[in-house]
Structure 1
Amino acid sequence: MTTSSDVIDDPPNPTDGTALPSATLGGDQKRSIEQITLLLFIVVPFLALLAAVPMAWGWGVSWLDLGLLVFFYFLGCHGITIGFHRHFTHGAFKAKKPLRVALAIAGSMAVEGPLVRWVADHRKHHRFSDAEGDPHSPWRYGETIPALLKGLWWAHVGWMFDKEQTPQDKYAPDLIKDPTMRRISRQFVLWTTVSLLLPPLIGGLVTLSWWGTFTAFFWGSLVRVALLHHVTWSINSICHAVGKRPFKSRDRSGNVWWLSVLSCGESWHNLHHADPTSARHGVERGQLDSSARLIRWFELLGWAYDVRWPSRSRIDSRRNTGQVRSRRRKETVKAA
């Protein structure tokens, strides 16, 4: 485990002076067609999410539909948390090429944007977290209740419609220079299509009916995407507005326990901002972190290596002073 500063404030830049190839459709400017497409991918799944309860009440939901929803939800979620976030953004571990490719594709199937753009945005977020320059801080407009409500909306959804995008050649040059990752990033539309069509294809083949195809698309594609989107966006909004802060960080990131299972461990957000390259975010007893568990399995299989697991001393060094004293008192009582 390294002991150097772990926030990627200054991502590696090319040193040969050559221009980097484009890694995403639209580059650093989000065009009108992209904004319209983004709006559709937000509104349509969200409407399906709202219709989910009456749909289940009126026509029911099959175990196949629920199975497809859960499987593709956690496939995409772990693709984001393990792949886009802990591996590609922060380098919490190294991966052999087959795992690296699989994580890039799984993350793309979460329908949260191309790999390079996602990583660039998140690295910029860490550089300016909850300060001017942060792409999605809920404290953007101030600390009054009306300002925070406006900021929560911005952090959750609004920031994605900003035409000015994070400069990818500055914040993600390492990925742009990787031909395989650049190709997968540019294939975002393809992996989105695969992600949306696989559930109804499976549903139709299993049930041999158009109704089975429709319900699989409704639950396994639309509802799944909407749920995953809002859980992911909640890390930007809710986890930077509320939650416990046992660790020292230069922002307002908090731990929100009730999001931990659905976020695959990402909602232990205060520890993440205190120690960004840590492969484990839920470091205390009882803090569920399925992403860390899978990384451990990948390591045991030899697919992942140089994993940055946090030591107890490293964790304690990042605690707030009051938390360290409280922990020592508890240990003293137990010893007595």
Structure 2
Amino acid sequence: MSDHKNIFRIQSVNKAFIIAVVINLIFISIETTVGLTESSLSLLSDAGHNLRDVFSLLLVLVSFRLAKVKRNKHFTYGYKKSTILISLVNATILIVALCAIIIESILKFHVPANVNGEAMSWTATAGIVVNGITAALLINGQKHDINIRGAFLHKLIDAMVSVGVVISGLVITYTGWNIIDPIVSLVIAIVILIPSVKLLIESIHLSLDGIPHGINIEDIEKIIKNTSHVIEVHHIHIWPLSTTENALTAHIKIDDISYMENVKYEIKNQLEIAGINHTTIEFESNIFKCDDTRCNIASPQN
């Protein structure tokens, strides 16, 4: 993916994120007010989670801005890596918040509060609409960026959880079983915890320069080997520059050094299609060979 395409994509989702932040802040205010008035732990815990999601959306917007900052003498790739760090921060904060909700829910089992089931249902119904709209705004961008995918996943899950709150509100209204409130709160936390752990693992993986999701090193090696004049490829290293850009370095042996520029051009085009934006190649031939530490002129064969 070329740089100008990445910038275009970032600009296209900026407006979606701003709209998502505004409508979610309005909903959080309503949900918190109803939760406090009606003593609903489910609504308060969901409001707290939604507030964290808004913070997450704002952090993603900041990462988009940092990703566009030009490189300088101290940061030769600019601040692209900040997008990965922000993803890691978001996943960590979310898991900490979920642990707090789980503890509070367990404590609430001992003294369940009286809850207005009807108020829960109406508020959660509004949550389904808000979270559904937010997820729809992010559905396109989530295919290409871990930060956007995280935000999309959370809001989609929130919409599903709101359905559960509606059901619990109806149960309380018609049966008076207030114990269902902490049960739903606990289920909410567990449902959100599973994808959050996966997001944390992927963020740590990218932070440690692991091969990005969706890129297979065997496939990359095959692409290079199938290029004309390529005899051998080794010392392949692939790592993420950001949540949307990846880099590769490799040593490639070719049969005729005069075709070097043509081979390089073809390989870079093929790798860009495969999702690798920045490629650095060290060419080798029969008279120019590299080992793990250096490259030398090969000794004549006897």
> What TM-score, normalized by structure 2, do the two folds share?
0.30
Q: Which has the higher strand share?
A: 2
Which has the higher Rg, Structure 1 or Structure 2?
Answer: 2
Higher relative contact order (CA 8 A, sep 6+): 1
Q: Which has the higher helix share?
A: 2
> What TM-score, normalized by structure 1, do the two folds share?
0.28
